[in-house]
């Protein structure tokens, strides 16, 4: 008698957007990471370091900038250029 092998279902990783507070699948968010005191955009979502996630939408990035959300989440000062890079990246995607 043959036994059927059961495939394991992959768990969907969920993260919280710093702008909206909504919990979304990690794959739907952009990751910003602090590496050795420098804040960079992590398009792969796999870099080492403390990360923060945001919905890839220009309005959400502006909202995060207004609230200083990345600085709070990463617990360090975040250069304003990061927000500009994110907005430019999101506009290129659409």
CB under 8 Å to 64, separation ≥6 — which residues?
Answer: 18, 19, 54, 70, 83
Domain count within the chain = 1
For residue 3, tell me if it sits in a domain.
no
Provide the domain limits for residue 32. 14-93
CATH number at residue 31: 3.30.1230.10
Which DSSP category does 13 fall into? P
88 inside domain:
yes
Residue 10: per-residue pLDDT: 82
Q: Please say whether the beta carbons of 52 and 18 come within 8 A.
A: yes
pLDDT value of position 12: 87
* Low-confidence residues of the chain: pLDDT under 50: none
- What's residue 92's pLDDT? 84
Q: Is residue 43 part of a domain?
A: yes
The Cβ of residue 21 has, within 10 Å, a number of other Cβ atoms equal to 8
Are 25 and 13 in contact, with CB atoms under 8 Å apart?
Answer: yes
What pLDDT score was predicted for residue 1?
A: 55
Global confidence as pTM: 0.85
Residue 89 lies in a domain: yes
On whether residue 2 sits in a domain, the answer given is no
Write down the pLDDT at residue 94: 66
């Amino acid at each position: 008698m043959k036994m059927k092998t059961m495939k394991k279902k992959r768990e969907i990783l969920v993260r919280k957007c710093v702008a909206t507070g909504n919990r979304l699948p990690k794959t739907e968010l952009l990751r910003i990471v602090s590496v050795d005191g420098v804040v960079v955009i992590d398009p792969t979502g796999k870099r080492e370091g403390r990360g923060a996630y945001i919905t890839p939408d220009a309005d959400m990035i502006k909202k995060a900038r207004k609230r200083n959300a990345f600085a709070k989440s990463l617990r360090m000062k975040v250069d304003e250029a990061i927000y500009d890079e994110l907005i430019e990246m999101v506009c290129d995607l659409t």
